[in-house]
Amino acid sequence: MSQIAVIGAGYVGIPTAACFAHLGHHVVCADVDEARVAALMKGEVPILEEGLPALVMEGLQSGRLRFEVGAREAVRDAEFVFICVQTPQGANGAADLTVVEGVAREIAPILRPGTVVVNKSTMPVGSTDTVARALRSGGAAHDVGVASNPEFLREGQAVHDTLGPHRVVIGCDDTEVAVRVSELYRDIQAPVLVTDPASAEMIKYASNAFLATKISFVNEIANLCELVNADVREVVLGMGYDPRIGFEVLHPGPGFGGSCFPKDTFALLHTAQGAGYDFELLRSVIDVNLRQRALVVEKVRAAAGGDLSGVSVALWGLAFKANTDDLRDSPAVFVAERLLAEGAVVRAFDPAAGDAASVRLPGMAIAADVYEAASGASVLVLLTEWDEFRWADFERVRTSMKPPFAVVDARNLLDPAAMRRRGFAYQGIGR
């Protein structure tokens, strides 16, 4: 079993650290945020991830998982260092590697000879070289290796996806180093693809861009369905039985959000531009996505009779998808901001993201539950596909609402016929 340091205790770092400890490795996970580290030392996990608190506790109790403030202490005995820090979108759309390079320079003089530094965060093509250069300029031993090993985990299912990945991708020009990295995953059942760093980095971006393309595609089909009186749910069902198409990532909605798809599609577009290539399809995927969010606002405005000023609107869901408390690039936040800007009186409920949203959107009231949010509203907008919304007492919801009892279901979560029977003016997406 190996000594592993994980730098960055966030959405990628904590699951990575906890899962490696679960697999029997000795892991130190470091972050610059002292409060976060102190909480983690007590087993308190600052993000909503199914199964993660139990895994962190297991690691702490077995002694195989420790948390540390700062990268320097964490890497002292490490054979492998996983860089899991943020790579935010820079001003020009490119991924900003400032934090990554800072970490590499900081740890460079401390690393033991033969240590392998692994890029886990999503980093653009060429980043393995960038990290190698930063390590050298920071004074790392000449035999410190560098590899790319992108994560493909979905938020909310990080533990599941980390322990049961569809594939493990390792990008490294040194086969011996790549084999050492692959051995960390010995007990995981998944194909391992060893390739060059640029291809590994591209695999991550191409995968996310492809999934984003599926979403924008189905959103366009949905919009077209509305114009020709087709039901996109039936259409997707009929498409999905073809295994070449499949059912997954084909749900129309308010567009993709989160920390990955929006940022990664922009970054890939930027990479293409830098290489002198016009990635026309990807540009459209991004444009369609932005338009889709705006379309939800249009539906709400139309449902309110064309003018939102002074109209009471209830929002169900704020997180960018269900089972997460993450608001990053959430279509729901975009919709809320636009509704507030147009003068609507907005009251929202989200099972997990309410506290964060009240900081982010001070002009919006946060309700304690779905009923409080809906009470007195003329329009109810469902923006995140939390399962519990499905099971609300809609009789109670309707009696507390005001005419025109409009429901804009931006996730197609509810049954249109049942909603109309209950007296709602129901509208979904593409049906």
Residues forming the active site: 260
Residue among 31 and 326 whose Cβ is closer to ligand UDX = 326
Residue 431 engages ligand UDX in binding (rule: CB under 6 A): no
Interface positions, 41-100, toward ligand UDX (CB under 6 A): none
- CA 176 to centroid of chain Cα atoms: 33
Q: Does 258 bind ligand UDX (CB under 6 A)?
A: yes
CA distance 391 to 227: 30
Contact pick of 64, 180, 251, 338 for ligand UDX (by CB under 6 A): 251
Closest separation in Å from C-beta 21 to ligand UDX:
21
Kindly tell me which of 80 and 256 has the beta carbon lying closer to ligand UDX: 256
Give the Cα separation of 128 and 198 in Å (integer). 8
* In the complex, minimum distance from the CB of residue 263 to ligand UDX, in angstroms, rounded to a whole number: 9
Query: Footprint of ligand UDX on residues 192-211 (CB under 6 A)?
Result: 208, 211
Nearer to ligand UDX, 215 or 407 (CB): 215
Question: Of the listed pieces 113-121, 248-256, 295-303, 394-402, which binds ligand UDX according to CB under 6 A?
Answer: 248-256
Please say which residue, 31 or 151, places its beta carbon nearer to ligand UDX.
151
**How far apart are the C-alpha atoms of 253 and 255, rounded to whole Å?**
5
Interface map 261-300 toward ligand UDX (x if CB under 6 A) = x---------------------------------------
> Token pair of 16, please?
């990575």
Backbone φ, ψ for residue 380 (5° rounding): -110, 125
Q: Tell me how far, at minimum, the Cβ of 259 lies from ligand UDX, in Å.
A: 6
350 binds ligand UDX (CB under 6 A): no
Nearer to ligand UDX, 240 or 363 (CB): 240
Q: In whole angstroms, what separates CA 80 from the centre of its chain?
A: 25
CA dihedral 321, 82, 152, 25 (to 10 degrees): -100
Q: Which of 239, 244, 152, 147 is nearest to 197 (CA)?
A: 147
Comparing C-alpha atoms, which of 222, 214, 220 is closest to residue 282? 214
Is-cis flag, bond preceding 254, omega within 30?
no
Q: Closest distance between ligand UDX and the C-beta of residue 329, in Å?
A: 8
22 makes contact with ligand UDX (CB under 6 A) = no
In whole angstroms, the minimum distance from the beta carbon of 265 to ligand UDX comes to: 11
* Burial group, residue 265, by CB count within 10 angstroms (0-12, 13-18, 19+): buried
Of 40, 260, 353, 380, the one binding ligand UDX (CB under 6 A) is 260
**# binding residues, ligand UDX (CB under 6 A):** 19
Please report which helix (H) or strand (E) contains residue 82, including its range.
Answer: strand 80-83
Query: Is residue 334 part of the contact set for ligand UDX (CB under 6 A)?
Result: no
φ, ψ (nearest 5 deg) of residue 55: -70, -40
Binding to ligand UDX (CB under 6 A) within 133-152 occurs at: 151-152
Residue 252: how many CB atoms within 10 A of its CB?
Answer: 27
Residue whose CB is nearest to ligand UDX in the complex, by number: 260
Contact 233, 252 (CB under 8 A): no
Determine the 3-state secondary structure of 188 from DSSP. coil
Query: Strand (E) positions, 156-276?
Result: 168-171, 192-195
Q: How far is the CB of 340 from ligand UDX (least distance, A)?
A: 21
Q: Which of 133, 154, 160, 422 binds ligand UDX (CB under 6 A)?
A: 154
**Closest Cα to residue 124, out of 284, 321, 263?**
263
Q: How far apart are CA 156 and CA 137, in angstroms?
A: 38
Q: Does 256 bind ligand UDX (CB under 6 A)?
A: yes
By the rule CB under 6 A, 424 interacts with ligand UDX: no
Q: Tell me if 236 contacts ligand UDX by CB under 6 A.
A: no
Binding residue for ligand UDX, selected from 10, 124, 165, 257, defined by CB under 6 A: 257
From the list 376, 375, 379, 377, the residue with the least C-alpha distance to 393 is: 375
Q: Would you count residue 253 as binding ligand UDX (CB under 6 A)?
A: yes
Assess 155 for contact with ligand UDX (CB under 6 A).
yes
Tokens 């390739």 sit on residue: 195
Strand partners, 315: 348, 381
**Residue 320: CB minimum distance to ligand UDX, A:** 4
Of the residues 57, 221, 249, 272, which one makes contact with ligand UDX according to CB under 6 A: 249
DSSP string spanning 149-177?
A: ----PPTT-HHHHHHS-S-EEEE-S-HHH
> What are the residues binding ligand UDX (CB under 6 A)?
151-155, 208, 211, 215, 249-251, 253, 256-258, 260-261, 320-321
